[in-house]
Structure 1
Amino acid sequence: MELALLASASDKANQPLAKALTGSGSAERILTAKSGAEARRLLLDQEVSLLVINAPLPDEFGHELALTAAHTTSAGVLLLVKEEICEAAADKVEPDGVLVLPKPLNRALFYQSLRFLRAARSRMAGLQDENRKLQRKIEEIKTVDRAKCILIECCGMTEPEAHAFIEKSAMDKRITKLAAAKEVLDGGAPSPA
């Protein structure tokens, strides 16, 4: 985790939290926000890998910010609340992937939570990469299928003939099937026989 955002109204708490974040290796740089609104602006401008919210904030409690970040970013989100309300806060935000810790903080539990968030974020990044690859593959299949439809409509080919035409065109020109399909879509279809 490289960039962390610490949302806390208390200057007194910021320094030890920032020191713990850098000391644990969870963040190389730390941005600080004194309110939920300021934290939201920073989340829009910067891609942070970790958001730590020291609740309550002056303009909101903090669970709203935690839920917003959990739904709109890939950052690990940690909400720090008073021990008396820890269970209630956890019931509200943990189903959305926000980790809740009671204050005062237990250092070992805090570090363990940071490691857990790092591991979860790493796993999520792997899943997002896989998802992007699958999305590209789906788009490639759609493009090839559209090109086949054009060949079937304008050239009277059957589906296997259209498929073979695109594959042969790709091999002959030493390009991908996607590039060959795009050529067909751009008007490179053979004249009807």
Structure 2
Amino acid sequence: MVFQERTYSVLVVSASAAFDRTVSDLLPRNDFWPVNMVTSCGEARRALLDKEYDIVLINAPLQDDFGMRLAIDVCSTSHAGVLLCVKSALYNDVYSKVTPHGVLTLSKPTSLPMITHSLRVLCALRERLRKLEAKQQSVEERMEEIRLVNRAKWLLIQCLNMTEAQAHRYIEKQSMDTRVSKREVAQDIIKTYGGQTPPGDNPFSSP
């Protein structure tokens, strides 16, 4: 794989030692690390509770279950890319059931180039999901800043008899003068005045 800034953590869920050896050769440490291997759904679920993985490879069937439900659950509860390997006789049926949940399916037996290609698809998928995560986090952080600034404005109005426009300008000026974010200015105002007024209706609070 071409040079990249990050590695991808991988959980391999397989009861086949031969499959594990094959996959291990396709997961070089400079691209995929750490790589952990378990043999059952139960072990996989415990591993997923302890750590978030970028990629989960499931070689069905497993010791305690087929593995289809595990694949669906991982896609539903995490941002990991999931590859489910199944026998060719079961491929069409399994594919139709797991694809709507975002699981990538691979028919066995398969070739090394096909496994490599699937891994690259999963890496691309993980990068797309990573960007969506960052965008979502940015939106959530912005919404939190708005809530903090609105609360700070309300406190300035209540405690210092400012108008809404004056409170807004005060926060902006403090942010520019001290070269800190409006979020930090709002937090300082809340810390200073938050306990000085009885609770009341905040006209800037979210509904």
Bigger shift: residues 169-178 or 70-79: 169-178
* Structure 2 segments unaligned to the other structure (5+ residues): 1-6, 197-207
Partner of 2:161: 156
Q: Which aligned segments of 4 or more residues in structure 1 are displaced greater than 6 angstroms?
A: none
How far did 1:139 drift?
Answer: 0.8
Determine if contact 2:159/2:193 at 8 Å carries over to the other structure: no
> Hey, what's the Cα distance between the residues in 1 that align with 2:68 and 2:12?
14
The alignment covers a number of residue pairs equal to 189
1:11 lines up with 2:17 in the alignment: yes
Instruction: Describe the superposition over 1:127-171 as per-residue Cα deviations: whole angstroms up to 9, x where unpaired.
Output: 212221221111111100111122223333322111012223334
* Structure 1 segments unaligned to the other structure (5+ residues): none
3-state SS of 1:68 partner: helix
3-state SS of 1:22 partner: coil
Bigger shift: residues 167-176 or 111-120: 167-176
Normalised to the residue count of structure 1, the TM-score between the two structures is: 0.86
Residue correspondence of structure 1 range 14-33 to structure 2 within 5 A? 14-22=20-28, 27-33=32-38
More helix by share: 1
CA RMSD of aligned residues (A): 2.3
3-state SS of 1:21 partner: coil
Residue correspondence of structure 1 range 127-166 to structure 2 within 5 A? 127-166=132-171
Bigger shift: residues 148-157 or 107-116: 148-157
Matched AA of 1:15: R
Structure 2 residue aligned with 1:168, among 168, 173, 180? 173
Determine if contact 1:26/1:118 at 8 Å carries over to the other structure: no
How far did 1:72 drift?
Answer: 2.5
Determine if contact 2:13/2:40 at 8 Å carries over to the other structure: yes
Matched AA of 1:112: H
Matched AA of 1:132: Q
Partner of 1:92: 97
Matched AA of 2:41: G
